[in-house]
Amino acid sequence: MKKKVVTKVMAFSLAAVMASTALTGCTFGFASDPDDPNEVEEKEVIDTSIDTFQYDAGLEGTSITLLNSKAEIQNALEEMAAQFEEKSGVHIEVMPVTDGDSPYTKVVSLYNSGTPATMAILDTTDVIALAEEKALDLSSEPWIQEAEEYMTKVGGKVYSFPLCIEGRGIIYNKAVLEETLGKEFDPESITTLDDFKGILEELKEAGMERPISVAKEDWSLGAHQLQYIYETEDGTSPGAQAAIESIKDGTLDLKNYERLGQFLDMFDVLREYNVAKADPLGADYDEMAIDLADGKTAFWFNGNWAWPNLEEAGAEKEDAYGFLPYFLNNDTEDFVNSKIQASPSKQIMIDGQIATENEQAAAKEFLNWMVYSEIGQQMIVKSASIIPPFQNNPYEPKDPLSRNIYEKAHEGKTFNASAIVPNDHWAVLGAAMQKYLAGRSDREELTQSIEKYWAEQK
């Protein structure tokens, strides 16, 4: 989840009812510099002169609420709500989840008090936990056809609107690569793990001995990295869940699990060429952004939510940054070597218990407005600065990381898989990954740690 660099809060909820969370796409890295109080924020101009969206006049005067758990777009949502009200006559109150609070807990609290929000922006895990009991069935909504690959289904039905896409992989700085190697860099030419190792060796020979930054944080190691062993089972969320269940019940032997071995092959490459190899657990997250922007390194494993860190380090929106896949092997037919993991990290659920038919209709109209109106399409991208999952949206994100994910999604070069894991997965197994990163354990010990963790979840 992309966030303001200075908020220093985790923007991903922990769903208590399931004791689980899908950590793909979270933002946990923080830059240290405070906002400049004299800085003037540049705002994108929204063209409101064209609006062919058909509003339902019968909804005029309706008031609804939207619970927002994505703090960094609070202002943008309020602007969108105001614009929508001006056009439709429907008033939307955008209610922020207080920093540090669990969105799931907030939603449950509102239901317990009999005053749930008409709409709620939630993590996928929370939607899965609440959908069948609380949410309105949205399976017949027209926007599904614009983003079928990014739908989350519960019991075969769609209960949520995918608000944004976030993805992760190996970030590259194209200018640094070309300056160091003295030749043009074509990311499409890197299609296997051996190809990736080859360019690392080229960089080493050219004087960049350690071209990669590897974050030491347990959330990065235990969620963003390790969860590849589940999510690459077949590149789908159901496939990831099937892999997890097989590990839990012991039918999948991790010692012989191909994806685990492949993941560690790739991870070994990352740690071998890690700029902080001498002291990997002493690495500083902020410095990684500076190193990539300044050219000390050429690669950084992270997601598009890292752009604020890079921008504070001096990167410009016009710079050529992008993503390489997390290469697992040398099979050019294996999707993991050609696609980036990208999933809908936030979903909008409509209340199906308390809201009136009019309120539900108004909420549906707002969702459709974001997808089909010329104004809504602009504001999702330009005001909220998120990657829309809907193929019909013609607007591209401005920052290069989000733009690269956007382009790959539209080219079919992403896979949508989110592992639903217990909320201590990233902490417990992140610690095990830290030991492995530092060379204080081997593959056998790490594998045993993963087995032990899942055995305790039964």
8 A C-beta contact, residue 178 and residue 184: yes
d(CA 416, CA 109): 31
Beta-carbon contacts of residue 296 (< 8 Å; ≥ 6 apart): 208, 275, 290
The pLDDT of residue 423 = 75
Q: Which residues contact 395 (CB under 8 A, 6 or more apart)?
A: 377, 378, 380, 381, 382, 388
Kind of pairing, strands 153-154 and 212-213? unpaired
What is the pLDDT, as a whole number, of residue 42? 64
Give mean pLDDT in consecutive 10-residue pieces for the chain, a chain of 458 residues. Answer: 32 33 38 41 83 97 96 94 98 90 90 97 89 97 94 94 95 98 97 98 97 96 96 94 94 96 98 98 96 98 93 96 98 97 94 98 98 98 92 93 92 90 90 98 98 92
3-state secondary structure of 157: strand
Query: What pLDDT is stored for residue 41 in this prediction?
Result: 53
Q: What is the pTM of this model?
A: 0.81
Gap between the Cα atoms of 21 and 29, Å rounded: 18
User: Residues 101-133, buried b or exposed e (16+ Cβ, 10 A)?
Assistant: ebbbbbbbebbeeeebbbbbbbbbbbbbbbbee
In this structure, are residues 105 and 16 in contact, taking their beta carbons and an 8 Å threshold?
yes
- Residues 35, 8: contact at Cβ < 8 Å? no
Beta bridge partners of 421: 21
The contacts of residue 406 (CB under 8 Å, 6+ apart) are 165, 387, 388, 396, 397
Report the distance separating Cα 267 and Cα 229, nearest Å.
12
Please, are residues 336 and 170 in contact by the beta-carbon 8 Å criterion?
Answer: no
State CA 442 to chain mean position distance: 30
- Dig out the tokens for 159 from the structure: 């209960």
d(CA 409, CA 432): 33
CA-based nearest residue to 371, from 152, 121, 147: 147
User: Contact, 21 vs 419, CB < 8 A?
Assistant: no
- 349 Cβ contact list (under 8 Å, min separation 6): 119, 120, 122, 127, 130, 131, 134, 135, 136, 159, 160, 161
Question: How high is the pLDDT of residue 230?
Answer: 97
190/79 Cα distance (integer angstroms)? 42
Q: What Cα–Cα distance (Å) separates residue 437 from each residue in 65, 101, 211, 216, 330?
A: 46, 32, 16, 8, 23
What's 1's DSSP letter? Answer: -
Distance CA 276, CA 285 (A): 11
User: What amino acid occupies position 357?
Assistant: E
Report which residue type is found at 56. D
The pLDDT score that the predictor gives to residue 100 is 67
